[in-house]
Amino acid sequence: MEESKEQILVNRLLKKEEAAWKELFGVYSGSLTYVCSRYVIDKEDVHDVLQNSFIQMFRSIEMFEYRGNGSLKAWITRIVVNESLKHIKKNTELKTVSDDFEIADVQEDEEPNFEEISQATIMKMIQSLPDGYRTVFNLYVFEEKSHKEIAETLGIAENSSASQFHRAKAILARKIKEYKMSKTAQYE
């Protein structure tokens, strides 16, 4: 059976080949920057988190177990998410907006409709969420963590995770509605 490009890269990484690490960075830095930017807003902080992530990858590559195509990307993405969460915990208190926070004009069950909106615009909307909401939203939606797992990871109550997720969704639904209304108004 022929080795995949990814498997060959992993073997080179295990030998600590400098060229392999440069290749890893070149191939994955764009997507890892995007993942990190979902959690960390400041560009300098994103750079620091990515640097820490690559150091972590280098230090722990021996523990990586190749499980088929895509497993390297999954592993390095998990490291970036974990480093992003460490950064958030260290540099911000995961503030939740108090329970009396008003979210106007949004039904509790209303699902945000992301059609016809660019990925960059959606990313800006997600980044504009308060830290706690954004972190929970990203972990739930993109990392597919349960509220129990999120609560354990962030050191918050499980119902707090669920509540923050629903509020994040409601805020995004409102932002999407406002965005679409402003786009409609432009053409009238």
- Give just the sign of the alpha carbon dihedral 74, 77, 83, 85: negative
- The letter for the amino acid at 117 is I
* pLDDT score of 93: 59
pTM metric for this prediction: 0.76
Structure confidence by residue, pLDDT tens digits, 52-109: 999 999 999 999 999 998 999 999 999 999 999 999 888 765 554 444 344 443 444 4
Q: Examine the pLDDT at 45 and tell me if it is beyond 90.
A: yes
Structure confidence by residue, pLDDT tens digits, 4-13: 899 999 999 9
What is the rounded distance in angstroms from the CA atom of residue 166 to the CA atom of residue 111?
10
Q: Domains (ranges, CATH) in the chain?
A: 5-91 (1.10.1740.10), 119-186 (1.10.10.10)
- The H-or-E segment that residue 143 falls in is none
* pLDDT score of 117: 83
- The letter for the amino acid at 1 is M
